[in-house]
Amino acid sequence: MNIIDRYLAGTVMAYSAMVLGVLLTLGGLFVFIGQQDDIGVGNYGAADALLFSVLNLPQQAFELMPIAVLIGSLLGMGALARGSELAVLRASGVSIARLAYAVLVGSAVMMIVAALLGELVAPPLQKFARQQRAFSKYADVSFAGSGSAWVKDGDTLLSVQEQTGDNLFGGVFLYRLDGDNRLVSVGRADRATVREGQGGWRLERYTETRFLDEGKEGTEVSKVPQVELSTGLDPGFLGLAVSEPRQLPSVGLLRLMKHLRANGLETDSYEFAFWSRIARTASILLVAVLALPFALGPLRSSGAGARMVIGILIGIAFFLLQRTLESGAIVFDLDPMILAWVPTTLLAVVTTILLARTR
């Protein structure tokens, strides 16, 4: 790398880091505000809410990195264009391809940072944050292993293996005790749904094994398609030790998909989350290069506000398209891998066309 490459790459990284810092400040503030209703529950105080917000920042940084790099690249390249630095480079014989390479180097560094945050830093910190909040709010919540949550509600113990949505859980076990804490029955539901506004849970494909009373030997097994469970537990309880697919690291998603396939269960949401993580991380390379045609073209003399608006609009369009395709993969049973790569592929096509038309 020569001096020009390092200068352009450093500009992309500096402006992207600045934008990311602003976005994280706003994101952390919104998370902290969202914790206000929980402050005062049990031993959960303002300091705990602040810690929870801070520990969630790495996950937010991973999710916001494409938008931060896009806006930062637009601002950085726009500043160079307004200062005629890009015009001087072009007049000196530096090609568009060479400029794109330099910008690509800067975005590659940001992509590596995002990958490290998303795979190594964010998942354990986010899980620790949720557990610390639980320990502060509820004294009767405990955890077993790394992939399940245990909760005691009266004479019933509940265990959840996975969370597939805000109010949807899979692999729910119920252990019922009598007044002397002796095991009365063991039940398992393939899926549990929270009944919002009604209280309680709806357990689907429920199988229960009941131990007979003293003097009788053996057990009784019953299977029902659906059963209602009266409990005051909300999703916040049972989602403490499990994570939504988009919050799991790639290695965790691969292991979970292998487990689900071995048990003949659906994996579409997890496959989409896996490929979406990879595609979203790869898009960081493209959004930085996308800023170059705008800086050399229509936004050459525009102010920082116009560039920021353009970046936000592109980022929102990318986000909405990704969320829409996620629903399509689940509802319409479409190929998750292809759908996950559609937004990034469209971004690559648009970037290539704009670069080819840039002079």
The domains of the chain are located at: 3-137+247-357, 148-240
Report the pLDDT value the prediction gives residue 59, as an integer from 0 to 100. Answer: 93
Helix, strand, or coil here: 204? strand
Q: Which residue from 225, 214, 215 is spatially nearest to 190, judged by alpha carbons?
A: 225
Helix, strand, or coil here: 23? helix
Q: pLDDT in tens for each of the 359 residues of the chain?
A: 688 889 999 999 999 999 999 999 999 999 999 998 888 877 888 999 999 999 999 999 999 999 899 889 888 888 888 888 888 888 888 888 889 999 999 999 999 999 999 999 998 898 888 878 877 776 555 544 445 566 677 778 877 766 554 455 667 888 888 878 788 889 888 877 776 555 577 888 889 998 877 656 678 888 888 888 776 665 555 554 455 677 778 888 888 788 667 767 677 778 888 998 999 899 999 888 888 888 776 555 556 566 667 767 877 787 778 777 766 666 666 788 888 898 889 888 888 888 888 76
Q: Which residue from 246, 262, 243, 265 is spatially nearest to 327, judged by alpha carbons?
A: 246
C-alpha dihedral sign at 189, 191, 195, 196: positive
271, 325 in Cβ contact below 8 A? no
Report the pLDDT value the prediction gives residue 28, as an integer from 0 to 100. Answer: 94
**For the chain, how many helices (H) and strands (E)?**
11, 7
Report the pLDDT value the prediction gives residue 263, as an integer from 0 to 100. Answer: 63
Say which amino acid occupies 77.
M
Which residues neighbour 217 within 8 Å (Cβ) at sequence distance 6 or greater?
A: none
The Cα 10–Cα 329 span in angstroms is: 38
Report the pLDDT value the prediction gives residue 17, as an integer from 0 to 100. Answer: 96
Report the pLDDT value the prediction gives residue 102, as an integer from 0 to 100. Answer: 92
The Cα 103–Cα 291 span in angstroms is: 9
Q: What's the start-to-end Cα distance of the chain, in Å?
A: 23
The Cα 81–Cα 302 span in angstroms is: 10
The Cα 154–Cα 115 span in angstroms is: 43
Cα distances (Å, whole numbers) of residue 338 to 124, 209, 250, 275, 349 = 29, 43, 17, 9, 15
- CATH architecture designation of domain 148-240: Roll (2.30)
C-alpha dihedral sign at 339, 340, 343, 347: negative
Say which amino acid occupies 78.
G
Q: Which residue has the tokens 């496959």?
A: 271
Say which amino acid occupies 127.
K
Strands (E), the chain: 141-144, 148-153, 156-165, 168-177, 183-194, 201-211, 219-229
Tell me the Ramachandran region of residue 143: left when phi exceeds 0, alpha when psi lies from -120 to 50, beta otherwise. beta
The sheet with strand 219-229 has its strands ordered as 141-144, 148-153, 156-165, 168-177, 183-194, 201-211, 219-229
Report the pLDDT value the prediction gives residue 30, as an integer from 0 to 100. Answer: 94
pTM, rounded to two decimals: 0.74
The Cα 119–Cα 14 span in angstroms is: 23
